[in-house]
A = this chain, B = another copy of it.
Amino acid sequence: MEQNQELKKAGLKVTLPRIKILEILQAPANQHISAEDVYKILLEQGEEIGLATVYRVLNQFDDAGLLDRHHFEGGKSVFEMGQKKHHDHLVCLKCGKVIEFEDDLIEKRQIEVAEKNNIKLTHHSLYLYGVCQPSCEDR
């Protein structure tokens, strides 16, 4: 179980809820997933893991730096495993599709803007909202 190593490395005891939640987050289909949706998948899998535990474990993973937390428009937090390189997000307002992108020029300008304003930059959030072309065009 490579999940076990990940958990131990993060200083967390190896427990069933944490293994299951980690597995769900690691699945390619579940990038950018909400706590509620993690919980739904656990239910479908027949696991008896409480919603409070899901929130708790996600926060622990966040503290341990295992994942990134996003706040897309519309309220709830969205999580994604964070081993990848930094990137920002495009979100379709119609179908909810999320596209990741990196733009070095934007990143560089952000640093310059912060410097110009005497702020030591720690992180940033950039979300581009729009509509998929042409698939979500009408509807």
Which residues does A use to contact B, with CB under 8 Å? 71, 73, 90, 92-93, 99, 101, 103, 105-106, 109-110, 113-114, 117-134, 137
Instruction: Output the least CB separation between A114 and chain B (Å).
Output: 6
* B residues near A119, Cβ cutoff 8 Å: 90, 92, 99, 128, 130-133
CB nearest to A126 among chain B residues: B126
Q: Would you call the interface of chain A mostly helix, strand, loop, or mixed?
A: strand
Chain multiplicity (copies): 2
CA distance A118 to B135 in the complex (A): 10
Instruction: Output the least CB separation between A46 and chain B (Å).
Output: 34
* B residues near A113, Cβ cutoff 8 Å: 90, 101, 103, 106, 128
Docked-complex contact A130 and B122, CB < 8 angstroms: yes
CB nearest to A116 among chain B residues: B101
* B residues near A125, Cβ cutoff 8 Å: 73, 125-127, 129
CA distance A73 to B93 in the complex (A): 21
CA distance A90 to B85 in the complex (A): 23
Partner of A106, one of B106, B117, B118, B120: B106
